[in-house]
């Protein structure tokens, strides 16, 4: 694979992870469960997924 293909693949993997974490948060919002340990864990996972994606993008610059 070329470095562009590698970048696309890794970026896509990280975006899928971020999308899944965000979707989980949205499900909790729809269920009006925006407090407590379940919510805090969902926020933490979404934040970490976002940070991994941004970190990956920034290391490519």
- Measured from the Cβ of residue 17, the count of other Cβ atoms closer than 10 Å reads 17
Residue carrying structure tokens 């994606």: 53
Q: What's the mean pLDDT in 3-21?
A: 94
How many structural domains are present in the chain?
1
On whether the pTM is more than 0.75, the answer is yes
24 exposure class (CB count in 10 Å sphere: 0-12, 13-18, 19+): middle
Q: What is the mean pLDDT of the chain?
A: 94
Instruction: State which residues form the domain around 31.
Output: 3-59
At 60, the pLDDT band (50, 70, 90 cuts) reads low
């Amino acid at each position: 694979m070329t470095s562009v293909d590698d970048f696309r693949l890794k970026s896509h993997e990280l975006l899928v992870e971020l999308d899944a974490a965000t979707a989980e948060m949205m499900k909790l919002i729809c269920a009006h469960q925006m407090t407590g340990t379940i919510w805090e864990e969902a926020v933490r996972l979404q934040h970490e997924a976002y940070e991994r994606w941004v970190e990956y993008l920034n290391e490519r610059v």
